[in-house]
Structure 1
Amino acid sequence: MPATEPKKILLAEDVRAISMRMSHALETNGYEVRVAEDGEECLEQMETFKPDLLVLDLIMPKMNGLEVLRHLRAQQSTQHLPVIVCTAKDYSTELKHIQQTGPVDVLIKPFDPDLLLEKLRQYFHEPATVAGTTHRAHLPAATEQYAPVLDTKRPHVRLWGTRGSIPVCGSKYAQHGGNTTCFEYNTGKERILFDAGSGLREAGQSFLAGGPCHIHLFITHTHWDHIQGFPFFTPIYVPGFEITVYGERGFGKNIESLLCGQMDRDYFPIQREDLRAKINFVFLGDLPVKIGEVSVTREFTQHPGATVCFKVEHNGWKGAFVPDNEFLQGYTGSPALLERDTDLVVPYEPILKFLDGMDLLIHEAQYLPADYPKRIGWGHSNLATACALTKLVNAKKWVVVHHDPDHDDTALHGKLNLTRQILREIGHPIQVVHGYDGMTEYH
């Protein structure tokens, strides 16, 4: 190339890191270079710079590359201007469309500047050799394809039931599900369940494939929506399974009588004596329950009867299951006014301390603020005060459960949007989602 007559190259590229890299390579090899950062500037530079060749990015602001090409081909002065199109979109339909505009070549991003230099050398010195599209074949091939498979043996939580009060069914509940409360923590070794609502049935069926094992079942309290799945829990009928059930003292009857009493002849065709698994009933105490490397502790909640919530700690991870808790019973004011030292909040310090810093907080918010005044004392949280609780304990992620049976999928979508609005208003950018039947989270 004669030094006195350098070829002029216009780079139309809006990503500065790419344009700087290509400009440096071109200038080092004796080309005169100008850069346009959008389509409109590219057309302006055409008039003043009059390049010998255009290197054109397809995706640019103000005017995209195809619009620039159509404009150039419509002008007599640029109708035959050679163009090298640069794009990351390696789709055959789009490439055919580009080639119909008559560019010299198409380079698929990412590419090395040396490839562009080679194309320019061919065009200016060996034009007969220039044609077609340079695909991604020039990129180094991976030694093997990266195709990860989910490690289902990792510790994870699963929600088998997320409703409160009574199961529901029908198309209106398809997304969130209709089973009453049941939560599993699975380490890959231990199977630990919390509550025996109707979701316990599907949980039990999932256990059968792995063969007999020891299942730990913790009961928050014995209202029907939390125990009604027990007679349908298949492992209790299978020899070789062992189920240890943990319950609180203070129920009107002991935990065994309450669970198995549902199998009275007047209610159910199968009786207690027909159960073939080994079943143990254990009262909860103040000391943690150790199951392998997992520690389970409990704290009392604001709900009629002897009701508790549970905290799971495992290898530095902390999660809590709080399906029934009327936090700040009777309060209908703004959650933005609440702090840990607010007089109204101070009596709840034990549970706030228990829930401090949860990686995952599974907590109810059954009632909307507008509905709560008619349901004070029913044992369930107002959505606004539940939002305040997540902030007061600095939870990292909140999964909302114990959905009201009157709240179908549409209502729950609206409720979740309101939840996020309230959290923004109180300055707590926590990740929040609604729990649904079958929801699984690995950590």
Structure 2
Amino acid sequence: MTFWGVRGSIACAGPETARYGGNTACVEVRCGPHRLILDAGTGIRPLGRVLAAEPPAPLDILFSHTHLDHVVGLPFFAPAMMPGRPVALWAGHLLPGLTLEGALRRLMAPPLFPVPVEVLAADLAFHDFLAGAVLRPRPGIVVRTAPLPHPDGATGYRIEHAGRAVAYVTDLEHRPGAIDRTVVELVQGADLMIYDATYDDAEFAGRVGWGHSTWQEALRIADAASVGQVALFHHDPGRDDAAMDAIAGAARRRRPGTLVAREGMTLAF
């Protein structure tokens, strides 16, 4: 798996964020010959350039939710513009009142965007489901899902393939002093948990209702669920590389082996 975008809220490219990266959420997970993509933030654009240069193959994009920072890269994703290329798009937070296709049509519409969804010439397949469902997007891959507490809703994913499990849990707000049992169940025993670590515990009190969690809560969840390794993710755009280094050091002291996700970081399981 490779991290192509690790920031939350808004892209923040610049010299002060060069080492950790400034693109918003996008993670590529390779399961044998199959590729799953988690979210379509601005990081999906460089991923698309790589994929466009390779032989075309079906792709699945799993959306945690449809806030702007997690979908804004899709209109710039080169494989989505390749006629006939199969691209399946999945979302578990919009039913019953809304759909993923409807949300993307609102995004790519005047006066906010100059061209409609139809410019995406790939063979798009939209799959709306209710978070909690078990998905089987490709042979040999099981994706378990769970609802996450976030404004407008969000979905957490657990990808299982060849005896390994990676959990993707971003854009959720925890309750201090109460471990979220839904999240613990989703990530239980995962080899890797990618978790929303936008804030730290000291900042969190001033950001209640904003829909995000802390790096300390990531480690509490990991301990409660016997997670193998943690990758802190969805970094606050206001944190420069020095601030991220400080969090990385503190997190490793608290739980050795903890990673702070960086653009371009590739992990193999």
TM range, normalised to the smaller chain?
A: over 0.9
Residue 372 (structure 1) aligned with residue 211 (structure 2): no
| Equivalent residues of 2:75, 2:120 under 8 A apart | no
- Provide the residue aligned with 1:222 in structure 2: 66
- In structure 1, the residue matched to 2:87 is 243
Q: In structure 2, what is the Cα distance between the partners aligned to 1:354 and 1:248?
A: 15
Deviations 1:141-162 (A, max 9, x none): xxxxxxxxxxxxxxxx111100
Q: Tell me the secondary structure at the aligned position of residue 441 of structure 1.
A: coil
SS of structure 2 residue aligned to 1:297: strand
CA distance in 2, matches of 1:411, 1:268: 35
Residue pairs, 1:113-128, within 5 angstroms: none
Q: Distance in 2 between matches of 1:288 and 1:255?
A: 16
Distance apart, 1:188 and its partner CA: 4.1
Contact 2:195 2:231 in 1 (8 A): yes
Secondary structure in 2 matching 1:186: strand
* Coordinate RMSD, CA, aligned: 1.6
Indicate whether 1:292 and 2:139 are aligned.
yes
Partner of 1:254 in structure 2? 99
User: Deviations 1:189-238 (Å, cap 9, x if unpaired)?
Assistant: 11111111111111111111223221101111111111111111111211
2:229 is matched with which residue: 388, 391, 397? 397
8 A contact 1:398–1:432 mirrored in 2: yes
Distance 1:254 1:288, change over 3 A: closer
CA deviations on 1:38-58 (whole Å, 9 max, x unpaired) are xxxxxxxxxxxxxxxxxxxxx
Q: Which amino acid aligns with 1:261?
A: R
Provide TM-score, normalisation by structure 1. 0.58
Amino acid at match of 2:2: R
The answer to whether the 8 Å contact 1:395/1:430 transfers is no
- What secondary structure, in the 3-state scheme, does the structure 1 residue paired with 2:206 have? helix
AA of the residue aligned to 1:437: E
Q: 2:108, 2:114 within 8 Å by CA — same for their partners in 1?
A: yes
Shift of 1:262: 1.9
TM-score by length of structure 2 reads 0.93
Deviation at 1:430, TM superposition (A): 4.3
1:408 deviates by 0.7
Quote the offset at 1:434 in angstroms. Answer: 0.6
Distance in 2 (alpha carbons) for counterparts of 1:177 and 1:161? 7
Q: 2:258 aligns with which of 423, 432, 436?
A: 432
Q: Structure 2 CA distance, aligned partners of 1:260 and 1:236?
A: 15
- After TM superposition, give the deviation of residue 290 of structure 1 in Å: 3.7
Deviation of the 1:385 alpha carbon = 2.1
Range with bigger deviation, 224-233 or 246-255: 246-255
Structure 1, gaps ≥5 residues long:
1-156, 334-343, 424-428
For 1:386 and 1:214, the matched residues in 2 are separated by 33
C-alpha displacement of 1:187: 2.4
**Residue 120 of structure 2, aligned match among 262, 266, 275:** 275
Contact in 1 for aligned 2:60/2:137 (Cα 8 Å)? no
1:205 partnered with 2:49: yes
Alpha-carbon distance in structure 2 between the residues aligned to 1:304 and 1:275: 28
Map 1:24-173; keep pairs closer than 5 Å.
157-173=1-17
Give the Cα separation in 2 of the matches to 1:245 and 1:194: 10
Higher Cα radius of gyration: 1
Question: For this pair of structures, how many residues does the alignment match?
Answer: 266
Do the aligned partners of residues 326 and 249 (structure 1) sit closer, same or farther apart at CA in structure 2, a change above 3 Å counting?
A: closer
Letter in 2 for 1:368: D
